[in-house]
Chains A and B, each alone.
Chain A
Amino acid sequence: MSGRLRIALTKGRLQNKSVELFEAMGLDCAPVCSPGRRLIHELPNYPLDVVLAKAPDVITYVEHGVCDLGVVGKDTILEKGGAFYEVLDLGFGRCRFALAVKKDSSFYGTYKTRRVASKYPNVTRTFFEGKGMDVDIIKIEGSVELAPILNLADGIVDIVETGATLKENGLEPIEDVAQVSARLIVNTASMKLYKNEITDFLSRMERELEGEA
């Protein structure tokens, strides 16, 4: 390391929110906003390099220590797991994991093993294991809402923001599985080796977040 930290941001909405937060902290994010062809963006007024990645890759980069820090949703953390420090709840990107079923159907009142479709099989497994309940889990890559409509599954575990998509498709959330928001994660070795640099960054961030709240 050359005295600069490297952070991986989840592309898309979390990236925009992160940049807003950074700018509020006084970091000049111009290189990230107009990226051009470069893949590593060096901030001019703070020793931080920014890379953009898909959510699960943020975890991979941080776990392997090629990025010291990362901003990633709790949904990805719950699904993928891994060894890193999860130091801050950034408060944005809020939504929740919920169990949703067809409107007016009964999910629990039966001896028949239930079948649940999800993009997040690990989150689903952990949730039902916690209840001591056996379910069949089916991994779906696209629109999960389709599975109960086609009678492939009795319910789905998915991310819910407003519930509008569920409602349109005749589904309703019946139980919260987990709350989700963006988190700041830190590589375990970086935290120890670059304590001063990381603490400085963290406390600036915390101050800004507290200010907002």
Chain B
Amino acid sequence: MNIRINTPEGTRDRLFAECLERRQVQSALVELFRRRGYTEVITPEVEFYDLFIQSGNPIPQEAMLKIIDRSGKIMVMRPDCTAPIARVAATKLKHLALPQRLYYDQTVFRSGQAHQGGSSEIAQCGVEMIGAVGVKADLEMVAMAVDALRSCGLAQFHIELGHAGFYRALAGRMNMPCDGLERLRGAIEGKNFALLNDLLEPYRGEDACAALRRLPYLFGGVEVLDQAQALAGPCESLDHLRRLYGELCAAGYGDYIRFDLGLVHQLDYYTGLVFRGYAEGAGGPVLSGGRYDGLMEQFGRRAEAIGFAVDVDAVGGCMAVEAPRLETVIHYGSGLLAQALAVVDSRPAGSCELSPCRTLDSTMNLAREKGAAGVLLLDAEGERWLTV
């Protein structure tokens, strides 16, 4: 029989340094989340397909990995962590006082296009704060997003803030049909200036037109907010962002904060603040989140919610983690296991291991094969170092 030895496209075996990278990021994040009062939720890897349709988060049907169960129902490998957590919070946790602070550390599954180099298994670590609204709740989230990337050891990164309400207010002032608005949103999201100009040309007389035309350029430092105000007039969402920025600066987070008022993705889902994290070394966002006050209601409980997820492997890929090198192999005599283990436990992880060989010669060979620097001999006469 031929044995299949490959893994399916989009999946991979992670070995050594790649595992360390992932675990290092996960443990830094989990430690932070717990310290800030978040408790862990683990949801099933397999859920009903309907759950993710209900949530209003537009994950394309073809991106979900589907399974048909024995009764013929369609199940999917969890493509997102927020919807399952909203389901839990709206049902099993409905008697707990709000706000509820929850975190997760699990894999999501999304099948991408073939041969694009993407992964179908995405390790996500994230948080949801349910039942809190206003500047302070948003502030806590953004500060934690900065701390999350900082705690992973990233040096060059920033968190970029936008607001779903800004675009909505502008679009609401346009006398444009729905499908036109959707194309407009796509052009702004993709910073497609040429298409945006074409789409807006027939509407040049309308007062929101100038602001919409500039929207894709409105990213960068805090000066963006003033530019936006000059174009669009005073606006609640800009005031909100300005208040947030003031507080973040006062708390010492200002250097990490940028703005992009052209963040207009998934507008049916996000209702307020939206944010993304970018780090040097990653070709896409490493963190993304926002406020989705309408989600919980889909599961039968009215409550505001805000959260973010970190793409663990994207962050891990920005760091240089090296797998430890084996230095020492220990050859120990009869009755000396405790001493041998004491030595192993005192050394840096992975730099020292016990030899299972009976004779010292075999241990020396083993050490040579594994590229260790030498053998530590423990016998009745004490310990001796033998260089390979």
In the complex, chain B residues whose CB is within 8 Å of the CB of A191: 191, 219
In the complex, 21 of the A-B residue pairs with CB atoms within 8 angstroms, ordered by the A residue number, are: A1-B280, A60-B117, A63-B116, A64-B283, A85-B190, A86-B191, A86-B192, A87-B193, A87-B216, A88-B193, A88-B194, A89-B194, A183-B194, A188-B283, A188-B285, A189-B279, A192-B158, A192-B160, A192-B260, A193-B278, A195-B220
Query: Contact at A66–B283, with CB atoms within 8 Å?
Result: yes
In this complex, what residue of A is CB-closest to B283? A65
In this complex, what residue of A is CB-closest to B192? A86
Cβ of A14 under 8 Å from chain B: no
CB of B102, distance to nearest CB on chain A (Å): 28
Cβ of A10 under 8 Å from chain B: no
In the complex, chain B residues whose CB is within 8 Å of the CB of A64: 117, 283
Q: How far is the CA of A193 from the CA of B157 in the complex (A)?
A: 8
Binding site for B on A (CB under 8 A): 1, 60, 63-66, 83-89, 183, 186-193, 195
In the complex, chain B residues whose CB is within 8 Å of the CB of A85: 190-192, 216
In the complex, chain B residues whose CB is within 8 Å of the CB of A1: 280
Return the 6 tightest CB-CB contacts between A and B, nearest first: A65-B283, A85-B191, A89-B194, A86-B192, A192-B278, A189-B278
In the complex, chain B residues whose CB is within 8 Å of the CB of A89: 193-194
Given A192-B258, A192-B260: A87 and B282 interface contact (C-beta under 8 Å): no
Cβ of B324 under 8 Å from chain A: no
What 0/1 pattern do residues 190 to 203 of B give for CB contact below 8 A with A? 11111100000000
Cβ of B37 under 8 Å from chain A: no
- Highest count of chain B CB atoms <10 Å: which of A66, A88, A193, A195: A193
Cβ of B284 under 8 Å from chain A: yes
Query: Contact at A195–B284, with CB atoms within 8 Å?
Result: no
Query: Contact at A188–B193, with CB atoms within 8 Å?
Result: no
Q: How far is the CA of A60 from the CA of B116 in the complex (A)?
A: 8
In the complex, chain B residues whose CB is within 8 Å of the CB of A187: 283
Query: Contact at B219–A195, with CB atoms within 8 Å?
Result: yes
Query: Contact at A63–B283, with CB atoms within 8 Å?
Result: yes
Q: How far is the CA of A149 from the CA of B195 in the complex (A)?
A: 36
Contact of A87 (CB < 8 Å), options: B192, B260, B280: B192
Q: How far is the CA of A64 from the CA of B283 in the complex (A)?
A: 5
Other than the given A86-B190, A188-B285, 17 more pairs (CB < 8 A) read A60-B116, A60-B117, A63-B116, A64-B117, A65-B283, A65-B284, A85-B190, A85-B216, A86-B194, A86-B195, A87-B193, A89-B194, A183-B194, A190-B283, A192-B260, A193-B156, A195-B219
CB of A28, distance to nearest CB on chain B (Å): 27
In the complex, chain A residues whose CB is within 8 Å of the CB of B160: 192
Residues of B179-235 whose CB lies within 8 A of A: 190-195, 216, 219-220
Query: Contact at B258–A65, with CB atoms within 8 Å?
Result: no
In this complex, what residue of A is CB-closest to B198? A89
In the complex, chain A residues whose CB is within 8 Å of the CB of B283: 63-66, 187-190
Q: How far is the CA of A1 from the CA of B318 in the complex (A)?
A: 12
In this complex, what residue of A is CB-closest to B115? A60
In the complex, chain A residues whose CB is within 8 Å of the CB of B220: 195
Query: Contact at A188–B260, with CB atoms within 8 Å?
Result: no
In the complex, chain B residues whose CB is within 8 Å of the CB of A83: 284
Q: How far is the CA of A84 from the CA of B156 in the complex (A)?
A: 21
Query: Contact at B280–A193, with CB atoms within 8 Å?
Result: yes
Query: Contact at B191–A189, with CB atoms within 8 Å?
Result: no
CB of A56, distance to nearest CB on chain B (Å): 11
In the complex, chain A residues whose CB is within 8 Å of the CB of B190: 84-86
CB of A168, distance to nearest CB on chain B (Å): 33
What 0/1 pattern do residues 264 to 304 of B give for CB contact below 8 A with A? 00000000000000111011110000000000000000000
Q: How far is the CA of A1 from the CA of B246 in the complex (A)?
A: 31
In the complex, chain A residues whose CB is within 8 Å of the CB of B195: 86
In the complex, chain A residues whose CB is within 8 Å of the CB of B216: 85, 87
Q: How far is the CA of A83 from the CA of B283 in the complex (A)?
A: 11
- Highest count of chain B CB atoms <10 Å: which of A186, A189, A195: A189
In the complex, chain A residues whose CB is within 8 Å of the CB of B260: 192
Query: Contact at B191–A186, with CB atoms within 8 Å?
Result: yes
Residues of B86-140 whose CB lies within 8 A of A: 116-117
In the complex, chain A residues whose CB is within 8 Å of the CB of B192: 85-87
Given A60-B116, A195-B219, A195-B220: A188 and B284 interface contact (C-beta under 8 Å): yes
In the complex, chain A residues whose CB is within 8 Å of the CB of B194: 86, 88-89, 183
Query: Contact at A192–B219, with CB atoms within 8 Å?
Result: yes
Q: How far is the CA of A88 from the CA of B116 in the complex (A)?
A: 25
Q: How far is the CA of A107 from the CA of B285 in the complex (A)?
A: 46
In the complex, chain B residues whose CB is within 8 Å of the CB of A87: 191-193, 216
